[in-house]
A and B are shown apart, each in its own frame.
Chain A
Amino acid sequence: EADIYQTPRYLVIGTGKKITLECSQTMGHDKMYWYQQDPGMELHLIHYSYGVNSTEKGDLSSESTVSRIRTEHFPLTLESARPSHTSQYLCASSESSGATWGYTFGSGTRLTVV
């Protein structure tokens, strides 16, 4: 049973459209992350949050934005989708401090921009 949920699972959308990828977790984790991953390639951190009202950009330059108004919810928004945004987007969460048990990943959203 998944404790971190991403919707939609698949999305095909036209160039220039605004889209929001949803991510919610029920574990009460403070820290949440968005990764981008192309098929067969490595994970790239695009955004992260250490708690409510905290958001930071990751290593990979991204034209997306995120918000963290509630602990459990960390949506990612693309204001104007482009074909270069075609990729898999993975959301993850983790406990906030001390010994860590790793990240829990959602099932991902596979985005195709046509």
Chain B
Amino acid sequence: QKEVEQNSGPLSVPEGAIASLNCTYSDRGSQSFFWYRQYSGKSPELIMFIYSNGDKEDGRFTAQLNKASQYVSLLIRDSQPSDSATYLCAAQEYNNNDMRFGAGTRLTVKP
């Protein structure tokens, strides 16, 4: 069983819609959670991180964390074609920088 699970997609949404990306993790010791965006042929770039249960908003992005359910999600509001990429979820134990990555969900935003 993988430590961080994501639906590989592809997830397709129309421009302007809300894209919802989901992730589950198995290690209850995980404390920090990250969302990376990776454009095709490029390296991952960090877009959001969250430590506490609840929601964290940054512009059009909202990360949600539910530690009881071991569930992390990323919402992208007003999706744009430029949001089309693979989104990687990652989990990390506090004070341990060994980050575990999911396989990623490929998102396509259609104009």
- Cα of A103 to Cα of B92 in the assembled complex, Å: 11
A19 in contact (CB, < 8 A):
no
Q: Which of B21-29, B41-49, B57-65, B69-77 forms contacts with chain A?
A: B41-49
B1 in contact (CB, < 8 A):
no
Q: Which of A67-75, A78-86, A91-99 forms contacts with chain B?
A: A91-99
- Cα of A18 to Cα of B46 in the assembled complex, Å: 33
CB pair A42 B101 closer than 8 Å = yes
Q: Which of A41, A102, A104 contacts B103 (CB 8 A)?
A: A41
Residues of A within 8 A of B46 (CB): 101-104
Q: CB-defined interface of A24-67 with B at 8 Å, one 1/0 digit per residue?
A: 00000001000000011111000010000000000000000000
- Cα of A41 to Cα of B51 in the assembled complex, Å: 27
CB pair B101 A100 closer than 8 Å = no
Min CB gap B1→A, angstroms = 14
B interface vs A, CB < 8 Å?
32, 34, 36, 41-46, 49, 51, 86, 88, 90, 92, 95, 97-99, 101-104, 106
6 tightest A-B contacts by CB?
Answer: A42-B103, A105-B43, A102-B46, A102-B34, A43-B101, A108-B43
